[in-house]
Structure 1
Amino acid sequence: MTQRRQLVIGAPALLALAACSTMPASNDRPPIVFVHGNGDSAALWQTTIWRFESNGWPRNRLFAFDQPMPLARDDDAVAQPGRSSTAESMAFLKAQVRRVMDATGAARVILIGNSRGGNTIRNYVQNGGGAAHVSHVVLGGNPAHGIWAVPGLREGSEFSGLSPFMKQLNAPKGPNGDEVTPGVQWLTLRSDNNDKYAQPEGTWIGAPGKPTNVSHDGPALKGATNVVLPGVDHRETSFSPAAFAAAWRFLTGQAPQRTDIAPEAEVVLDGRLTGLGLDSNNPASGDFANNLPVVGARLAVYAVDPATGARRGEAVWHKVIGPDGRWGPFTGRSAASYEFEISAPGYATTHVYRSPFPRSSSVLNVRPERPAAADRDAKALVIFTRPRGYFDARRDRIRLDGQTALPGVPPSGAGIATSRLRLAGDVQRSVAGEFNGERIVGLAWPFAGGHLSVLELTY
């Protein structure tokens, strides 16, 4: 194992991080480009962007983009429908960085990436000319040495530590044999032992009891500042308050004034309405996420009673989705709870319930759902989901419809982000989902009428 210096967050680590940067004052902040992970979208950066704004980073210097095909190929060298190669992913990022530089006039940008987004960032900086345009990089939960490194096991995947792609990225650089490209300041953030993709044993990759040849410190890189965030899960390495605080210290040399989110009285909400793809060569594989617009879909926004999920009158916003996928902008109130109703051919009518939005956002993405085969006998279906982290029954206070044991969530480990509650009755009623103090209430809609509900956590 390559020697990689690591800091566990605490007082000494804070001092070390504070010494890492000489970032300009708040009135001259460089642009930040946020890069999402495998199968994800720009929406996952919503709370991180809010925290940067709440500490004075200008909103017009914060950028997050949707990669059209965010899932990696099974073999990076073999074309696969609905998937992107490392080269395609890098080309997308390169184009977005150029777009940001042209729009802002900035000479350099900061890149912050989660999971696979870190692979894309490293590839761009090392092989795509990014070293000339990037000052700082923050990588959260990046599988920098693979999710597995097992001879004969999908060695062509970019997630294999034995892949040509990963070996080339990690080849020694400079006089110290660093794994990171020189001339750029690097920070990695990882969990101590709770990242599903940095485990020495293969439960989360479908190989229980078998060694992955990857350790908990797999996301760390020689030549970077490597910080351990105790207890966080894979996504929380990027999207948690602790991850934000560590990134802010690294970039500015100071602790943030706050890790909560400063509210605005009036909010402007917008985002994209995207869909699900189906591999025509292998229909049995089921749906997979993409970030392509569902043109012609209809979205309606309703104000709802936060205690019951019942609508408070007629829709306060509605729109037919065009080629850009945008469903807004909608001006709302930060104290209000909203339901987003999505109607699109080939999908269930999807009712998405969210907590109030404390600040404006242009990355409030929504997606209609299709019922899985296992759901078809239900009278009503409620999906409880946490996009910016996982459910951990040992660590978190969780409740769904009064039950502490969530369907599909194991009693230990942080590796499942979605629970599907199948109801035996079709009488419309309130269902509450609770997670560490965040509580969302929505209505269960009759499944026979082609409806389903989503309770989507923000935090």
Structure 2
Amino acid sequence: MRTYISRWLFAVGVAVAAVAVAPTPAQAAAYTASSNPILFVHGWNSSASTWNTMISRFQADGWPSSRLRAFSYNTSQSNATTAQQVGQEVDKLLASTGATKVDIVTHSMGGLSSRYYLKNLDGGGKVDRWVSLGGPNHGTSSANACYSTACLEMRIGSTFLANLNSADETPGVPTYGTWRSNCDGVINPVDSTVLSGASNTLAGCVAHTSLPIDATIYGQVRNFVNP
């Protein structure tokens, strides 16, 4: 009897161990030689440090640090000016890695400058997948409380947004994805982030500043840019 129980416990232990180490769908999206380098674009009144947590998670999943690039910029200037910097950073990343395309992951206002780059600066041919986390793609009432050029462009009904969203909200060959949360608290209305032609995901209850550090959203973004 004791021998039988010992064998049963051993079998259970092996089975549990097998389950513990079995590949999961999340693990299946880890870095491969065909994975694109990623450019990260932060939002208003922020900096490249926005991405520290997400970049560390990409590194843990196999991405070399040389293929993950975040940069800081003046968030008061026009998003059209920042779009030129986005283009420069894309070119630097392509040149340093030898890749033919990059993916772009953005938070908040970073989605506007990068979309301007894709639409108006011929960036679409250099970008494979584009991500917006809590982007004010159709404006936010929160921008009524600040008065820089960038804030004026983020206001609902601004000329900048009207032009950016005219004709086709997701132009060219890149695949577009957005994430929004009903607990955002900064992007008002929340559905401002949604783009016609994009894969639009409603996340759980995540605050605006937590979107780039939420573990669940990270896994979804990683799988989106690395299908």
Q: CA deviation at 1:171?
A: 1.1
1:190 aligns with 2:190: no
1:36 partnered with 2:37: no
Aligned residue among 164, 169, 174 for 2:164: 169
Gaps of 5+ in 2: 1-24
- Contact 1:149/1:161 (<8 A) preserved: no
Q: Say which of 193, 203, 224 aligns to 1:250.
A: 224
Alignment match, 1:309: none
Q: Tell me, yes or no, if structure 1 residue 238 matches structure 2 residue 212.
A: yes
- CA offset digits 1:108-128 (Å, max 9, x no partner): 110001011111110100111
- Tell me, yes or no, if the aligned pair for 1:143 and 1:197 is still in contact at 8 Å: no
Matched, 1:92 2:85: yes
User: Match for residue 32 of structure 2?
Assistant: 26
After TM superposition, list the pairs within 5 Å mapping 1:67-216 onto structure 2.
67=73, 69-70=74-75, 72=76, 84-148=77-141, 157-173=152-168, 179-191=169-181, 193-199=182-188, 215-216=189-190
CA RMSD across the alignment = 2.4
Please tell me whether residue 64 in structure 1 is matched to residue 59 in structure 2: no
**Partner Cα separation in structure 2 for residue 43 and residue 24 of structure 1:** 23
Q: Which residue of 2 aligns with 1:221?
A: 195
Could you give the per-residue CA deviations for residues 82-136 of structure 1, whole angstroms, max 9, x where no partner exists? xx11222111111111111111111111000101111111010011111011000
1:317-376: per-residue Cα shift (whole Å, max 9, x none)?
xxxxxxxxxxxxxxxxxxxxxxxxxxxxxxxxxxxxxxxxxxxxxxxxxxxxxxxxxxxx
Displacement, 1:236? 2.1
Give, as a single letter, the amino acid of the residue that structure 2 aligns with 1:39.
Answer: N
Report which of the two has the higher share of helix. Answer: 2
Correspondence 1:49 to 2:55: yes
Q: Is the CA contact 1:29–1:61 (under 8 Å) kept in the aligned structure 2? A: no
Q: Deviations over 1:133-163 (max 9, x none)?
A: 1000011010011013999x97x71111211
Residues 259-315 of structure 1: per-residue CA shift (max 9 Å, x gap) = xxxxxxxxxxxxxxxxxxxxxxxxxxxxxxxxxxxxxxxxxxxxxxxxxxxxxxxxx
Once residues 209 and 193 of structure 2 are traced to their aligned partners in structure 1, the CA distance between those partners, rounded to angstroms, is 13
Name the count of aligned residue pairs: 196
TM-score (norm 2): 0.80
Q: Deviations over 1:415-434 (max 9, x none)?
A: xxxxxxxxxxxxxxxxxxxx
Percent of residue pairs bearing the same amino acid type: 30
**CA displacement, residues 420-451 of structure 1 (integer Å, 9 cap, x when unaligned):** xxxxxxxxxxxxxxxxxxxxxxxxxxxxxxxx
Matched to 2:114, the amino acid is: I
Deviation at 1:33, TM superposition (A): 0.4
2:31–2:62: 8 Å Cα contact kept in structure 1?
no
Greater radius of gyration (CA): 1
